[in-house]
Amino acid sequence: VASAGPALAQAAYPNKPITLVVPAAAGGPTDTVARLIAESMTKTLGQTVVVENVGGAGGTIGMAKVARAAPDGYTIAVWHIAQATAPALYDGLKYDVVSDFDHLGRITDVPMTLVSKAALPPKDIAEIVAWMKANQGKATYGHAGIGSASHLCMLILMKELGIKMEGVGYRGTGPAMNDLISGTFDVMCDQTTNTTGHIKDGRIKGYAVTTKSKVSSVPGLPTLDGGVLPGFEVSAWHALWAPKGLPKDVTDKLVSALKVALKDPKVVERFAGLGTEPVAEAQVSPQALKTYLEAEVKRWDAVIKAAGVKASN
Ligand code: MLT
C-alpha cells in the first residue's frame, strides 16, 4: 500500500519541465539571456527549463500569455524594460504589468548600440547623425515591435535629434538583425548581446553605446551621452517573472535557482563577452524587482509623455 509520504514527495516542485516564455523571437537578445539562464536553472532544479518564443506586439502577446497562465511555477518568463514601458506606449494593455505578475528577480542590465548595415557610408557617430538627418523620409530603422527596447531607443533618439525615419517591425531583433546584415533596412538601436559579434565581424557597423559609460565588449564605441546627445541613457534591463500567485516554496526555489545561475561562471563569462554582467545579488529578489519595476514604470511614463512619443510613431 503506497503511503501519502512518497506520493507527496514525488509531487514536490518541480516534477515536470518548466516553460520559460521569451516574448520575442529566437536568436535575439532576450532569447540569448533566457537560454543561458535556462541552462543553469535546469541543472539546479533537476527539470528541463524549456524556452518558448512567443514574439509579437513588442512582447505584449507573450506577457499576456504568462499573465493568464496557472501560477504553479511551470510557466515563467524572461522579459525586459518593455514590461515597464508597455503601459505608457500601449493603449488598452490587457494586463497590469505590476499586479498581474509575481516578480522574481532582476537578471542583468544590457547596454544598447546604434548600428547600421555595413554598406552605409557613415564612419562615425557624427557622420551617421548627419546621414540620418539628410535621409529623413528615406532612411529606415528596424525594431522588435511597438514598445520593444529597440523601438523605444530609436523613438527617443529620433525625438532628441528632431528627425523621423520609417520603422520596420519584427517579432524580435533576432530576425531584424538578419535583415540588417542583408541590408533590408538602414539602422537599428539594439542590445550589445545581439550586436557585439556582428560589429566585431564587420557584418554591421557600430557607432555609439546608449549607456553613460563605454562598454567593454565594444570598446571602440563612444557614448551618445558624451557626444551628440548629452543625457541620453537607455539600457534594456532583464528580469524573471511568473503569473501572480505562486506558492511561496515555488517562488523560493525559482529565486534561488536564478541566484545560482547569476553566479554560474559560464553565464558570467558569456554575459561579459556580450557587454553585460549579472546585477548585484541584492537585486535578485521579488521585492527588489517589484520596487524597481514600479520606479521604471513611473520614470518611463514621464519620459515617454514628455518626449511626446506614442506607439503609433
Ligand atoms: C527588443 O528590442 O525589445 C529586443 O531586442 C527584443 C528581442 O529580444 O528580440
- C-alpha angle 161-181-114 in degrees, rounded to nearest 5: 25
Q: Which atom of ligand 1 is nearest to the CA of 30?
A: 8
- 29 CB under 6 A from ligand 1? yes
Closest by CA position to 169, among listed 55, 79, 291: 55
For the question of an ipTM over 0.90, the answer is yes
Q: What is the mean pLDDT of the chain?
A: 93
- 150 CB under 6 A from ligand 1? yes
pLDDT value of position 147: 84
Per-residue pLDDT tens for 236-273? 999 999 999 999 999 999 999 999 999 999 999 999 99
Lowest mean pLDDT among 4-8, 81-85, 256-260, 306-310: 4-8
The mean per-residue pLDDT over the stretch 121-149 comes to: 95
Name the pTM for this structure: 0.92
Distance in Å, CA 163 to ligand 1 centroid = 23
Closest by CA position to 199, among listed 273, 256, 255: 273
- 40 CB under 6 A from ligand 1? no
Residues 6+ apart with CB under 8 A from 160: 229, 232
pLDDT at 1 exceeding the cut of 50:
no
